Amino acid sequence: MKKWFIAVLVLIAVFAGLRYYLILKPVEYPINRDPGWNPGSVIHILPTANHERFLIKVSFLKPPVDAPLLQVGQAGTVLGVRTDTEGRFWMFDAQGLIPDTVYTLTLKTVSGKDLCDPWPLKTFPPPDADPVHLRLLIYT
């Protein structure tokens, strides 16, 4: 009986320790260490593009107070769509862009304050184009 009781106590202690480590422990995200780019409260930027559209997903360390905006060069501004219940993950769908064009993207608050430094993103060439070269990055 005594060994069984000690075994149960050990299992409870292990479970409590794992629960803290796996669930309750504060998450520390890897932050961009590039001194030339200020990420602000942005953790990830996951862009996708085609010849006339950007679909960008962004995650924040802390949820923004209001829906963030994405300024797409001179093409206009896109209001973010929240994709989680906490408000840390947002999606931006910029449509009607010009093929083979570099746009400067800037995340902003509704009041116009930058949430991070701007970055460039280029649309693909038009579907009927005959590109000379292709660079492809595959990340898994």
Q: Report yes or no on 98 lying in a domain.
A: yes
Rounded to two decimals, the pTM is 0.72
pLDDT in tens, 27-66: 565 655 677 878 888 888 999 999 999 999 999 988 898 9
- Greatest extent of the chain over all pairs of C-alpha atoms, in Å: 79
Residue 100: which CATH number?
2.60.40.10
pLDDT in tens, 18-29: 666 655 555 565
How many domains, in total, are found in the chain?
Answer: 1
Examine the pLDDT at 104 and tell me if it is beyond 80.
yes
Bridge partners of 60? Answer: 42
The rounded distance, in Å, linking the Cα atoms of 131 and 51 is 13
Q: Report yes or no on 112 lying in a domain.
A: yes
Say whether 121 sits in a helix, a strand or coil: strand
Least confident of 31-35, 95-99, 103-107: 31-35
The rounded distance, in Å, linking the Cα atoms of 53 and 117 is 21
Domain that residue 78 falls in: 42-122
Antiparallel, parallel or unpaired: β 102-108 and 119-122: antiparallel
